[in-house]
Amino acid sequence: MEDERVDKAAQRVVRTARVYLLSKGARVRVLLLVFLAALALLGSAYILRSSLPWGANVQPKPRTSSTTTTSSSSRRRGNEEVKEILTSSADEVRILGGGGPSVRAAYATRRGHYADDPGWRNQDSLALLPDFGGSAGGEAFSRGRGVLMGVFDGHGSSGEGCSRVASSEFPLSLSRRLAAGEAAEGAMAAAFLDANAALRRSNVDDSISGTTAVVALLTGAELWVGNVGDSRAVAGVLSGDGSSGRDHGAKAIDLTSDQTPFREDEKIRLRKSGARVQTFDQVSGLKDPTSDSWAEREEDEYDPPRVWPPHSNQMGLAMSRSIGDNLMSQYGVTAQAEVEVRKLDESMAVVIVATDGVWEFMSSQKAVDIALRHKDAREAARAIASRSFKRWMGNDVRSDDITVLVAFLDWGS
C-alpha cells in the first residue's frame, strides 16, 4: 500500500512536469521526462507540494475571543514520523438565544504535511466572531448576538497574505453594510467583492495567488451563507422537529456548492469568458483536449479540470471563483459569491464550515456524524480535523492544510 501511494505521488510529479514542458524544446523535454521517470522508479519522487505552479498556505490568525490550545500526536509511516499538530479553541464561544438557539462554536486547524518542506506554513485563515450584529436579522441579531464563522483557504506564493487580508476585511465590510441598512443577501455578496478590492489595494501580490472564502452567519432567526471557491458549509438536520435527538444522527445538507470547473454552469461561464477548461493530461497532450469526461475525486487517476488562460500553460486553477487571482479575473475567475438565506428551525443541530483539506477525503455526511458524537464543539472540531489528517495520510504522502469550525445549535435552552 505504501509503494502504491508513492507511485501515485510520482505520477502526479510527472503529470505536473508535463505542463511546464509544453513550451520547451524537444531535447529538454526528453531529458527531463527521463529524469522524472528515474525518480518514479526509485520511489524518491516523494511528493510535490502542490500540483499547481501556484499553491500555498498561511499561518492562521484566528479572529475569536477565545484563546487557543495546541496539541501534538505522532503517527509512523515507514521510517518517517508524521507529527499531527492541532491548534484549536481553548473554550467554546457561547451565545445566548434571545428568541433563537443558543450557539456553541469552536475551531480546529492544522498545517499541511509535506515531506520535502518540514517548515510548511499553514495558508488557511479563519474568522469566528461571537458578537456580530445588525438591523436585518431579528431581535437577537439586532442586540449583537449573532455568530459569524468563516474559513479562507489561501493558494499561491502569496496565499497566506491573501487569506489574512480576506479574513480581516470581510467581517469589517459586512458590518459596515449592515449598519448602513443594506439587506442581508446584497450586503453579504458585496462584502466578498469588498474583500477582493481590499486585497487588490494591499501590498500582497495577488496576481497568481488568492483565497477561497465561505462564511456562515447565524442571526438567531436566520442562517446566511456565502461562498467563493471550493471550501464548504454543511448543516446537520434532525428528522422531523428534532425530537429524535442527536443520538439518532442527522442528515447532512450542503449549504454551499463547490465552485469548480466540474460544475456545468461554471464550465460554460468560464469558456464564455475565454478560459480553457482542461486537465493536466489534456493540456500536456496525453488525452483528447476536447473531451469533458473527467475522473471524479474518488477515482485513482484523479486529474481535475482546471482553468487556464487561452494561450498559456503556466497556470491552472482548480476552482472557478476566488478572491484574488487577478491575472485570471479576465477569464471568468471572479469573487462574485453565491449567497443564500435560510430560516432557522429546531431541526438544525450543527453547522460545519471547513476548507477543502477536510472535504478532499471526507463526505459531508461523515463530518456531521463525527461532530454529533461529541457534546463539546471544541472536541467535535478537533475530531473532524484529526480524522481528515489521518485520511490524507492513508491515501496520499502529503496533507493539505485543514481548518474546520463547528457550531452546535441548542434549542429551548
Query: 323 with 196: CB under 8 angstroms?
Result: yes
Give percent of the chain above pLDDT 90.
56
Mapped onto helix, strand or coil, the DSSP state of residue 195 is helix
Query: 408 with 105: CB under 8 angstroms?
Result: yes
Q: State pTM to two decimals.
A: 0.79
Q: Which of 189, 197, 246, 248 is nearest to 376 (CA)?
A: 246
Q: Note the pLDDT of residue 221.
A: 82
Average model confidence (pLDDT) across the chain? 79
Q: Which of 264, 279, 166 is nearest to 215 (CA)?
A: 166
Confidence of residue 324 (pLDDT cuts 50, 70, 90): very high
The Cα 357–Cα 207 span in angstroms is 23
3-state secondary structure 114-130: CCCCCCCCCCEEEEEEE
Backbone angles phi, psi at 120, to 5 degrees: -50, 135
Q: Note the pLDDT of residue 93.
A: 66
Over residues 333-373, the pLDDT tens digits come to 999 999 999 998 999 999 999 999 999 999 999 999 999 99
The Cα 175–Cα 198 span in angstroms is 15
Over residues 384-403, the pLDDT tens digits come to 999 999 999 999 999 999 99
Q: Note the pLDDT of residue 390.
A: 95
Residues in CB range of 60: below 8 A, 6 or more apart: 87, 109, 122, 124, 125, 126, 403
Confidence of residue 264 (pLDDT cuts 50, 70, 90): very high
The Cα 234–Cα 384 span in angstroms is 13
Residues in CB range of 51: below 8 A, 6 or more apart: 12, 15, 16, 280
The Cα 127–Cα 213 span in angstroms is 10
Q: Which three cell numbers stand for residue 55?
A: 499553491
In one-letter notation, the amino acid at residue 321 is R
Give percent of the chain above pLDDT 70.
69
User: Which has more pLDDT, 77 or 211?
Assistant: 211
Query: 43 with 6: CB under 8 angstroms?
Result: yes
CA-CA-CA-CA torsion sign (375, 378, 384, 387): negative
Instruction: Please report, for residues 10, 152, 270, 276, the alpha-carbon distance to residue 322 in angstroms, rounded to integers and kept in the order given.
Output: 29, 10, 13, 17
Query: 360 with 297: CB under 8 angstroms?
Result: yes
The predicted model gives 175-200 an average pLDDT of: 93
Instruction: Please report, for residues 260, 296, 310, 379, the alpha-carbon distance to residue 270 in angstroms, rounded to integers and kept in the order given.
Output: 10, 20, 11, 40
Could you tell me whether strands 251-254 and 232-237 are parallel, antiparallel, or unpaired per DSSP bridges? antiparallel
The Cα 107–Cα 87 span in angstroms is 8
Could you tell me whether strands 338-343 and 102-110 are parallel, antiparallel, or unpaired per DSSP bridges? unpaired
The Cα 344–Cα 253 span in angstroms is 14
Q: Which of 189, 186, 212, 188 is nearest to 199 (CA)?
A: 212
Q: Which CATH superfamily is domain 68-259+336-410 in?
A: PPM-type phosphatase domain (3.60.40.10)
